Amino acid sequence: MDWNAPHPSAAVDADVLLPGSKSQTNRALVLAALADGPSTVHLPLAARDTELMADALVSLGARVERGPQSWSVTPIEPVGSAEVDCGLAGTVMRFVPPVAALGTGPARFDGDPRARERPMATTISSLRDLGVRVDDDGRGSLPFTVHGSSSVRGGDLTVDASASSQFVSALLLVAPRFTEGLDLRHEGGSLPSLPHVAMTVTELRRRGVVVDEAPGRWHVRPGPVKALDVTIEPDLSNAGPFVAAALATGGRVRVRNWPEHTDQAGDAWRDLAAAFGGRTDRDGSDLVVTGPERLAGVDLDLHDVGELTPVVAALAALAEGPSRLAGIGHLRGHETDRLAALATEINRLGGSVQEQPDGLTIAPAPLHGGRFETYDDHRMAHAAAVIGLRVPGVVVENIGTTAKTYPGFADDWGRLVP
């Protein structure tokens, strides 16, 4: 559905209460499915990526009762064969195959057309290196079938996770259930999204799993994953467009319940706001973002927090000085090739964005209205909404794609502009 991006006549002044973190919800679901007893996930994100994760675990033999405030998970009792729809969720296509390896039958994985283009070779090769049979068509991508054999020995394993940190997280999440645990090394280009790996290690340790780490190396001891009831934090990556609304309009946005300590990549919004010239202040459990009078250009390495790039690029396109966003070549394998998509769509509105091998350069340019394609990427829709705050006549193609991680996005965004 085409959606006219709201365009306020004054600076925004709003409070937002965000839905739960995708990354935390999907880790909590996987660990609950592997645990030694039932667990409850309070305030889970209910969105396409987390529903797909729950469905995937159910198809492997878990039970997930989904209530409005909490989801109750009963661990997997392996069933024969399974079909897993990964949609376009990186966490489902990377985290679930190693879980299926512990099952008792074939599990076939497939997803949206674009999912078949996302990098999966490391998932396939790492499972084979662990002695698991995987049938694929040799392209290193979905679809493929993992043949569960009840137990995986584990031990030493070296992978190249430079295309996605999710390859490392996926193996670590399941590693305590391998007979010998796992001594995992990453070798290759630099590993992106380190906060997401830190989140994986935190969540394992909270459930009694012993993990030792050194740069590029993780040792997970075999043992039970203790059942644990958890409460999911608000999704700070999805806070991005709201933080950006304060920055882009010189306004003020209060984000409710911003955690004081967190592994979420989106916590970097506090530093990013400052880089653009804005301010963030804690007020009790909230974070209050105040926008600057003039939005500054930025020179940022986003390697650790790549998923924040689309909204950062939208802000950079509105800034008064030039910007450089680096360290994000791996975004070409995200929901879409985000570097190409951002350059094409911002330039369609009159922008001056150039693709670089590992990022984007963005020069100030007067923007005008027009249709902004999203390429089924929730964060492209967020970027368009941010530009629409300052540029009249921005029309977002397929705002429904935000349902991947934030089904209520358009309604919540509409409340920014009364």
Q: Which residues pair with 74 in a beta bridge?
A: 63
- Is 338 labeled as ligand-binding? yes
Contact between 192 and ligand PEP (CB under 6 A)? no
The alpha carbon dihedral of 234, 6, 381, 405 has a sign of positive
The distance of Cα 183 from the centroid of its chain, to the nearest Å, equals: 25
How many Cβ atoms sit within 10 Å of the Cβ of residue 326? 16
Q: CB-based contacts of 275: which residues, under 8 Å, 6+ apart?
A: 296, 298, 300
| Residues 326, 89: Cα–Cα separation, whole Å | 24
Q: Are strands 106-110 and 82-85 parallel, antiparallel or unpaired?
A: parallel
Which token pair is 298? 């930025």
Both tokens of 272, joined, read: 């990013």
- Confirm whether residue 206 is marked as ligand binding: no
97 near ligand PEP (CB under 6 A): no
Question: Is 166 known as a binding-site position?
Answer: yes
Residues 48-67 that bind ligand PEP (CB under 6 A): none
**126 among annotated binding-site residues:** no
Chain positions 100 to 139 lying near ligand PEP, rule: CB under 6 A, are none
The beta strands (E) that lie in 189-340 are given as 211-214, 217-220, 230-231, 252-255, 279-283, 286-290, 299-301, 323-326
Binding mask 356-395 for ligand PEP (x = CB under 6 A): -----------------------x----------------
Is residue 332 a known part of a binding site? no
Q: For the chain, how long is the longest CA-to-CA vector? A: 62
CB of 302 to ligand PEP, least distance (A): 12
Residue 379 interface partner, choices ligand S3P, ligand PEP, none, CB cut-off 5-8 Å depending on type: ligand PEP
**Token pair 């990556």 is at which residue?**
237
Cβ–Cβ under 8 Å, residues 418 and 57: no
Q: Looking at this protein, which amino acid is placed at residue 214? A: A
Tell whether residue 226 is among the known ligand binding residues. no
Single out the segment in contact with ligand PEP by CB under 6 A; choices: 83-91, 176-184, 276-284, 287-295: 83-91
Q: Choose the contact partner of 193 out of ligand PEP, ligand S3P, none; CB within 5 to 8 A by kind.
A: ligand S3P
Residue 89: contacted member of ligand PEP, ligand S3P, none (CB under 5 to 8 Å, by partner type): ligand PEP
First to last CA, the chain: 22
Who's near 411: CB < 8 A, 6+ residues apart? none
Decide whether 177 or 196 has the Cβ nearer to ligand S3P.
196
Considering only residues 393-412, where is the footprint of ligand PEP by CB under 6 A? Answer: 405
- Contact with ligand PEP (CB under 6 A) among 18, 30, 31, 89: 89
- Does 397 qualify as catalytic in the annotation? no
90 is in an annotated binding site: yes
338 touches 377 (CB < 8 A): yes
> Which does residue 196 touch among ligand PEP, ligand S3P, none (CB within 5 to 8 A, set by kind)?
ligand S3P
| Residue carrying the six token digits 């502009």 | 417
Q: How far is the CB of 333 from ligand S3P (least distance, A)?
A: 7
| Catalytically annotated residue among 51, 233, 307, 345 | 307
State phi, psi for 298 to the nearest 5 degrees: -135, 155
Contact indicator for 295, 275 with CB cutoff of 8 Å: no
Binding piece for ligand PEP, criterion CB under 6 A, among 2-10, 87-95, 127-135, 239-247: 87-95
Under DSSP, is residue 9 helix (H, G, I), strand (E, B) or coil?
A: coil
Shortest CA distance to 65 belongs to which of 77, 74, 56? 74
Indicate which single residue of 48, 177, 334, 382 sits in contact with ligand PEP (rule: CB under 6 A): 334
123 binds, among ligand S3P, ligand PEP, none (CB under 5 to 8 A by kind): none
382 binds, among ligand S3P, ligand PEP, none (CB under 5 to 8 A by kind): none
- Of 397, 391, 152, 193, give the one whose Cα is nearest residue 308: 193
**Least distance in Å: CB of 241 to ligand PEP?**
12
Which residues, in sequence order, are bridge partners of residue 13? 252
CB of 89 to ligand PEP, least distance (A): 5
Binds ligand PEP by CB under 6 A, chosen from 24, 40, 50, 91? 91
Question: Which residues in this chain contact ligand S3P in the complex, by CB under 6 A?
Answer: 23, 90-91, 164-166, 169, 192-193, 196, 306-307, 330
Q: Is 169 in the site for ligand PEP (CB under 6 A)?
A: no
CB-based contacts of 214: which residues, under 8 Å, 6+ apart?
A: none
The footprint of ligand PEP (CB under 6 A) covers 88-91, 307, 334-335, 379, 405
Which residues line the annotated binding site for phosphoenolpyruvate? 22, 90, 118, 166, 338, 379, 404
Which residues line the annotated binding site? 22-23, 27, 90, 118, 164-166, 193, 307, 334, 338, 379, 404
Active site residues: 307
